[in-house]
């Protein structure tokens, strides 16, 4: 019985070591820089700056929020 447990443990260790050695390497070693985020002036959701809509110094997550906020400021 001890012999059987020894062989099972040995095979498991070899399989674990084989998987660890043959793990695919990451494509690039440099980490990507996170996109700058801005906060929607209407709802407060954070969105990437390149997807946000600016109006003056304020940013919006969608055209609907830009329109809603500008309609409230005109009153």
pLDDT digits (tens, 9 = 90+) for 16-62: 999 999 988 776 666 678 889 999 999 999 999 999 999 999 999 99
Q: Which residue has the higher pLDDT, 74 or 51?
A: 51
**Contact by Cβ (8 Å): 43, 61:** yes
CA atoms within 13 A on the CB side of 52: 22
Model confidence, pTM? 0.52
Per-domain residue ranges of the chain: 35-75
């Amino acid at each position: 019985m001890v012999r059987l447990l020894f062989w099972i443990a040995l095979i498991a260790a070899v399989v674990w070591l084989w998987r660890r050695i043959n793990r695919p390497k990451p494509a690039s070693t440099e980490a990507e820089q996170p996109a700058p985020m801005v906060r929607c002036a209407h709802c407060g959701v954070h969105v990437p700056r390149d997807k946000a809509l600016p109006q003056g110094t304020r940013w919006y997550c969608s055209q609907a929020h830009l329109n809603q906020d500008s309609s409230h400021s005109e009153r």
